[in-house]
């Protein structure tokens, strides 16, 4: 009577579907004080010619997280950074009607370490969040969710470690925060707050960078 199966993988009922499962990775970076997201120009139907969030099907034997890591590495060449599951969408491509399921993730990458894949087909590029092109499927929704989550993560985690080189100045860190929250922050309060969290620590080094006082370099303290 009921279709109770309690996630028994082996049970199969006539009405059950086996939808395609894809992972999508919303990859953020901050370049020139602007928050950007990596998009890929689709070179085949559906949505040929439109830009979309990088993603693809799971490979055999791969976990969801491994698939997300693989996608991230394929597009940016980087590994071992902030990557977190975001949300699972059951209706990203309503047009297809096949009920594909998209498990979305979001990642933060340091632009100085990322090397975008240089293909001509499925070409990846960084897009400023305030000037997104028309996106395939329902990818705008995914990016909105990711941005909201990024802002809130920034408040109580050291997620930003993944957006910066190992050492950086307070100003560089502050610019990253400002780009993400979308508003200027007070220099003194920012410094005090970030040091108080314990996420970052001063190094012994300074960086001279023009005709003014050199800036102290900091590093993230997490699992040092």
**Residues at the contact surface with DNA, assessed by CB under 7 A:** 169-171, 186-189, 191-193, 196, 206, 208, 210-216
| The only residue of 10, 196, 204, 208 in contact with a copy of itself, by rule CB under 8 A | 10
| DSSP code, position 135 | B
Element (H, E) at 26: strand 21-31
| Chain position carrying tokens 């998209």 | 102
Q: What's the number of CA atoms in the CB half-sphere (13 Å) around residue 173?
A: 29
How far apart CA 31 and CA 154 sit, in angstroms, is 17
Nearer to a copy of itself, 38 or 176 (CB): 38
Shortest Å distance, C-beta 179 to DNA: 16
Nearer to DNA, 50 or 169 (CB): 169
How far apart CA 63 and CA 48 sit, in angstroms, is 28
| The only residue of 36, 54, 179, 218 in contact with a copy of itself, by rule CB under 8 A | 54
| Chain position carrying tokens 């950007």 | 36
Q: Does 136 bind a copy of itself (CB under 8 A)?
A: yes
Binding partner at 159 among DNA, a copy of itself, none, C-beta below 5 to 8 Å by kind = none
How far apart CA 18 and CA 100 sit, in angstroms, is 9
In the complex, which residues of this chain contact a copy of itself (CB under 8 A)? Answer: 2-13, 15-22, 24, 40, 42, 44-47, 52-65, 74, 85, 87-93, 96, 98-103, 117, 119, 122, 136-137
């Amino acid at each position: 009577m009921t279709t109770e199966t309690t996630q028994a993988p082996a049970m199969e009922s006539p009405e059950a579907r086996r939808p395609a499962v894809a992972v999508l990775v919303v990859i953020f970076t901050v370049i020139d004080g602007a928050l950007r997201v990596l998009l890929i120009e689709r070179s085949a139907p559906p949505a040929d010619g439109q830009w979309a969030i990088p993603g693809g099907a799971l490979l055999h034997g791969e976990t969801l997280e491994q698939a997300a890591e693989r996608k991230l590495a394929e597009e940016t060449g980087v590994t071992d950074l902030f990557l977190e599951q975001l949300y699972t969408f059951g209706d990203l491509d309503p047009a297809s009607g096949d009920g594909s399921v998209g498990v979305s993730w979001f990642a933060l990458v340091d632009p100085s370490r990322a090397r975008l894949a240089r293909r001509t087909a499925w070409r990846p590029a960084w897009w400023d969040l305030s000037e997104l092109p028309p996106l395939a499927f329902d990818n705008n929704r995914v990016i909105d969710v990711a941005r909201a989550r990024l802002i809130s993560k920034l408040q109580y985690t050291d997620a930003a470690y993944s957006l910066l080189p190992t050492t950086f100045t307070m100003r560089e860190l502050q610019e990253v925060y400002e780009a993400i929250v979308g508003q200027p922050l007070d220099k003194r309060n920012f410094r005090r707050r970030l040091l108080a969290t314990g996420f970052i620590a001063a190094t012994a080094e300074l960086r001279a960078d023009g005709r003014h006082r050199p800036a102290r370099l900091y590093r993230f303290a997490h699992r040092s």
